[in-house]
């Protein structure tokens, strides 16, 4: 029996497709976002110790208390918001599960959710599965700024949520102070939730400030904030993240979380709770990634690609207009098979196939990997 698809228009995620192609043809994989170097040895040691010390059974449903306490401390110190670890923080299986859970817990059939595109590809399917309607707003290169006047026009009595992502994947832009002001005005006196995907909160460059929803009480009160330790500690395969929200929102989140997954792997939580005691573990990240960004951008400036701005995340986008008439999907495929460097075609992040001939490269790689990639990209 073939079930009636709940997502008839959805194929396999572009990350799986491009990584598979890169592996098949032996290309340098700058497509899917993950480091090609090891996560900190000390962290691995802490996980091993936790396992040896018998931390191998179910963690509490909301996450290990010690880890939730460290998260609350970090958030208060960085953004000034006080979250109660008992009622307002839940540890999740990566940012992805937090996103799905928040949408599942709050979106009813026919609710509208505003999504800015290009958008991380996990948002729309979750909204559709809940019977919600995706109201997408396409942003344009090179700056990808949010046109707030158009957002106002998209708002209706059915608007239930706005999804934000800063620093932004795939465009590497960040929310600025004036975006926050516009957003605050728009949601004021309206029943609109914010899902703020902040998984790249520490990957922000040139001394700029991360505009977390946690900084602004009016926004914080209506926000689910999503974070990921995969990005912080170079351990995407551990699938560990968390969600923060005021207690009344978190209560609904946990109703879903407890049946979707119940709880998340214990030894990793024990280890991360310990590792977070050293604030350098995350405060050193902007410097670490900025060096890679600068190195990669200097290399790319010797190619024919047009560099787009990069204020955050570990992604660098380029335009290839003038180099080829191919669609970004075709060009990314040829780049992978012929030139042996894999990238993500950014049209994959738009609901309607909008193609600005932009590719996204991931620079969370060893310097020698980036250099080898540049050498190949210079031949195009």
Q: Write out the residues near ligand PMP by the rule CB under 6 A.
A: 33, 94-96, 120, 165, 169, 197, 199, 228, 230, 236, 239, 241
- Could you say which of ligand PMP, ligand GLN, none residue 94 binds, taking C-beta under 5 to 8 angstroms by partner kind? ligand PMP
Q: Is the Cβ of residue 165 or residue 220 nearer to ligand PMP in the bound state? A: 165
- Could you say which of ligand GLN, ligand PMP, none residue 15 binds, taking C-beta under 5 to 8 angstroms by partner kind? ligand GLN
- Could you say which of ligand GLN, ligand PMP, none residue 32 binds, taking C-beta under 5 to 8 angstroms by partner kind? ligand GLN
Q: Is the Cβ of residue 120 or residue 282 nearer to ligand PMP in the bound state? A: 120
- Taking the complex as a whole, the smallest distance from the CB of residue 53 to ligand PMP amounts, in Å, to 26
- Taking the complex as a whole, the smallest distance from the CB of residue 168 to ligand GLN amounts, in Å, to 11
The residue assigned the tokens 């974070």 is 227
Q: Which tokens go with 41?
A: 């040895």
Cα–Cα nearest to 307, from 366, 363, 231: 363
Q: Is the Cβ of residue 214 or residue 374 nearer to ligand PMP in the bound state? A: 214
- Could you say which of ligand PMP, ligand GLN, none residue 165 binds, taking C-beta under 5 to 8 angstroms by partner kind? ligand PMP
> In the complex, which residue's CB is closest to ligand PMP?
94
- Taking the complex as a whole, the smallest distance from the CB of residue 152 to ligand GLN amounts, in Å, to 29
Q: Which tokens go with 1?
A: 């029996």
Q: Which helix (H) or strand (E) holds 37?
A: none
Distance (Å, whole) CA 67 – CA 55: 14
Contact 275, 281 (CB under 8 A): yes
The residue assigned the tokens 């919600």 is 132
**DSSP secondary structure string, 53-81?**
TT--SPPPTT--HHHHHHHHHHHHHHH--
To 10 degrees, what angle do helices 94-106 and 247-260 make? 110
Distance (Å, whole) CA 291 – CA 297: 10
Give residues in contact with ligand GLN (CB under 6 A). 13, 15, 32-33, 169
- Taking the complex as a whole, the smallest distance from the CB of residue 228 to ligand PMP amounts, in Å, to 3
- Taking the complex as a whole, the smallest distance from the CB of residue 241 to ligand PMP amounts, in Å, to 4
Query: Any idea what DSSP says for residue 159?
Result: E
């Amino acid at each position: 029996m073939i079930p009636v698809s709940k997502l008839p228009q959805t194929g396999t995620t572009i990350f799986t497709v491009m990584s598979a192609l890169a592996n098949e043809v032996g290309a340098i994989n700058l497509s899917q976002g993950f480091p090609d170097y090891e996560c900190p040895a000390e962290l691995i040691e802490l996980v091993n110790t936790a396992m040896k010390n018998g931390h191998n059974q179910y963690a509490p449903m909301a996450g290990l208390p010690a880890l939730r306490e460290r998260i609350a401390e970090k958030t208060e110190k960085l953004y000034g918001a006080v979250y109660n670890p008992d009622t307002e923080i839940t540890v999740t299986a990566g940012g992805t599960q937090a996103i799905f859970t928040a949408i599942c817990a709050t979106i009813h059939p026919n609710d509208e959710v505003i999504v800015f595109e290009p958008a991380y590809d996990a948002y729309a399917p979750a909204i559709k599965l809940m019977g919600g309607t995706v109201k997408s707003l396409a942003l344009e290169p090179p700056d990808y700024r949010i046109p707030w006047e158009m957002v106002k026009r998209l708002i209706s009595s059915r608007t239930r949520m706005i999804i934000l992502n800063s620093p932004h994947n795939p465009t590497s832009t960040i929310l600025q102070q004036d975006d926050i002001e516009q957003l605050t005005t728009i949601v004021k006196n309206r029943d609109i939730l914010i899902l703020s995907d902040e998984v790249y909160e520490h990957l922000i460059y040139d001394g700029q400030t991360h505009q977390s929803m946690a900084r602004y009480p009016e926004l914080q009160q209506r926000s689910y904030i999503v974070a990921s330790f995969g990005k912080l500690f170079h351990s995407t395969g551990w699938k560990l993240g968390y969600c923060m929200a005021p207690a009344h929102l978190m209560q609904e989140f946990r109703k879903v979380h407890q049946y979707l997954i119940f709880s998340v792997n214990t030894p990793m939580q024990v280890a991360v709770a310990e590792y977070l005691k050293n604030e350098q573990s995350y405060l050193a990240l902007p410097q670490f990634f900025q060096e890679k960004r600068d190195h990669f951008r200097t290399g790319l400036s010797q190619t024919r690609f047009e560099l787009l701005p990069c204020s955050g995340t570990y992604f660098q986008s380029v335009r290839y207009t003038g180099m080829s008439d191919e669609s970004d999907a075709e060009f990314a495929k040829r780049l992978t098979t012929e030139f042996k460097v894999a990238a993500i075609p950014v049209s994959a992040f738009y609901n309607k196939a909008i193609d600005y001939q932009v590719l996204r490269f991931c620079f969370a790689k060893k310097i020698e990997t980036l250099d080898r990639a540049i050498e190949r990209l210079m031949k195009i």
